[in-house]
Structure 1
Amino acid sequence: MKNTIRDRRDAEGISQADLAAAVGVTRQTINAIERERYDPSIELAFKLADYFDCNIEDLFDPDLNGDRPE
């Protein structure tokens, strides 16, 4: 799933390890999310959104196929 975690983390000037510690996961988990190789649980997505003080939709692109219900 596309996301803006790396951009937001870089803007905050924090490392993957710092972000991981703040949300209770490993640095490898943050790396996998940033590389779009792992989709976080809903709980982790909420923790990340809380950390960056934004909505989950601001971090993750929910439009998986370009098809949105009307």
Structure 2
Amino acid sequence: MENRIRDLRKMNKLTQEELSKQVGVSRQSIIAIESGKFNPSLELAYYISKVFNCTIEEVFIFEERGME
């Protein structure tokens, strides 16, 4: 899963530290999510999207997989 957190964060002039405080996680968690090394829980994805006033789908890009 890809995400637009870094771009949205910079557009909103937020540091990783500021975003982490707003959503209640460590700065290291934000770094891991931005780099694609960690996928957030649905709850955390929701809180991140609310900071940017976006939907979850606007922040996180899901790859379609076949359901077999």
TM-score (structure 1 length as normaliser): 0.89
Matched, 1:59 2:53: no
Distance 2:66 2:54 in 1: 22
Find the counterpart in structure 2 of residue 36 from structure 1: 36
Q: Extract unaligned runs of 5+ from structure 2.
A: none
How many angstroms does 1:62 deviate by? Answer: 1.3
Greater fraction of residues in strand: 2
How many angstroms does 1:67 deviate by? Answer: 4.1
How many angstroms does 1:49 deviate by? Answer: 0.7
How many angstroms does 1:28 deviate by? Answer: 0.2
Q: Extract unaligned runs of 5+ from structure 1.
A: none
Give CA deviations for 1:13-48 in whole Å, capped at 9, x if unaligned: 110000000000000000000000000000000000
Taking only the aligned residue pairs, the percentage that are identical comes to: 40
SS of 1:9's equivalent?
A: helix
